[in-house]
Amino acid sequence: MIFHFGLKIFSTRQAHGVGNIEGFDYNEVRMMYLDHSATTPVDARVLDAMLPYWTENFGNPSSLHRFGQRALAAVDEARQTVADILGAHTREIIFTANGTEANNLALRGVALAARGAMGDHNAGDHKGRPNIITTPIEHHAILRTCEQLEREFDFEITYVPVNRHGIVNPDDVARAMTERTVLISVMYANNEVGTIEPLAEIGKLARARGVAFHTDAVQAGGYLNVNVNDLNVDLMSLGSHKFHGPKGVGVLYGRSGIKILPTQTGGNQERGRRAGTENVPYLVGFAKALALAQSERAETNARLRAQRDRLVEHVLETIPGAELTGHPTERLPGHSSFVIPGAIGDEMVFALDLAGVAVSTGSACTAGSPEPSHVLAALGYAPDIARGALRITLGRENTDREMQQAMRVIPETIEKIRRQ
């Protein structure tokens, strides 16, 4: 399957005349990584914190002997670190395998618990179908979970629209709420266009109506304030690999009093809400990465915004017809995204890769899909325009010198694609 995917990439490059694949040596190209919304390299300090828990402190946290207790102490310390940063209690922190699992547990866990409390509406003791409110620009971990809840469990899903910049109007959310609404889920910052949503306002409205409010904060965890009390959220999903931590670990914050039906059963780990032996080195890595990202956030964000703004200005000046997507200012600090008329997203990604610049068209989870972005469609872009999507996302290791090179290579490469 991996081999087949590789053939698909190469044949697509050749078909569009993007580069001479025969005899091409990737090792001769010095690569610049500008796809930090897809994933980030693990910080050396994070790796150092993780290493002992693969070797001398390898115990199972559920074991009673000292090996197990050392591992349990590390898990407890990691949980405390995350809780302190989020302004939460340790009992409200649930470690998961990734942000997708955290999203699934939040939606399915809360929705099914609420559905049970409402009773079987098919048996005549109902008040109507239970309702979930979300937006059409969410990650597929949210959208496909909602689709399953609607299809298999008879939930009603309300999709509140967004404007051209991808902003949700809190008043629209308020109007969508009914006495049957059991959950609202609005992402903190969009992975494809970088727009930051007005969570605190939405959360205030949800709390006044007694409705649980969840946010997918996977993209935001390393760059924005994640204090759950400031944001008025009841549930929050985070994923470590978006802020220089390891892949394969996430967190769901669940406010005390919010009922969550476990979707993974077995042992009593995570207070019975998520069974399975704890992945100790990864939990340690998550906590270390989050602590570093939040402590260095102001300095990192200032540098990323300056680099991003120079890049955006240059792209719009040098690529005719290019349009910035998402909100021009209320967006993640290192995030820029465009639609480029006269070019196809995948072609731009392949050509820029050959030129030494790693970028993307949008979500890594849907890379290679022939369908245009559902996010851009929700923002009102026509399919032929949306197919020209290009996402360039910066990270803490990118230098000003790299930005100068990127500003030269990107317009040159896109001009070549347009000519071909």
Q: Please answer whether residues 71 and 281 qualify as being in contact, where contact means their C-beta atoms are separated by less than 8 angstroms.
A: no
Q: Which of 370, 223, 218 is nearest to 292 (CA)?
A: 223
Q: Which of 139, 121, 141, 138 is nearest to 130 (CA)?
A: 121
Q: Please answer whether residues 362 and 35 qualify as being in contact, where contact means their C-beta atoms are separated by less than 8 angstroms.
A: no
Integer angstrom CA distances of residue 97 from 250, 265, 271, 282: 5, 14, 16, 9
* Catalytic annotation, residues: 365
Give strand ranges (E) for 218-290. Answer: 235-239, 250-254
Integer angstrom CA distances of residue 262 from 5, 12, 106, 259, 299: 35, 43, 10, 10, 39
- Residue 124 class from Cβ within 10 Å (0-12 exposed, 13-18 middle, 19+ buried)? exposed
The DSSP result for 156-198, as a single string, is EEEE--B-TT-PBPHHHHHHH--TTEEEEE--SB-TTT-BBP-
Q: Which of 231, 197, 236, 195 is nearest to 215 (CA)?
A: 236
Rounded CA gap, 94 and 262, in Å? 11
Q: Please answer whether residues 163 and 187 qualify as being in contact, where contact means their C-beta atoms are separated by less than 8 angstroms.
A: no
Q: Please answer whether residues 71 and 57 qualify as being in contact, where contact means their C-beta atoms are separated by less than 8 angstroms.
A: yes
* Residue 388: other Cβ atoms inside 10 A: 24
Rounded CA gap, 190 and 113, in Å? 28
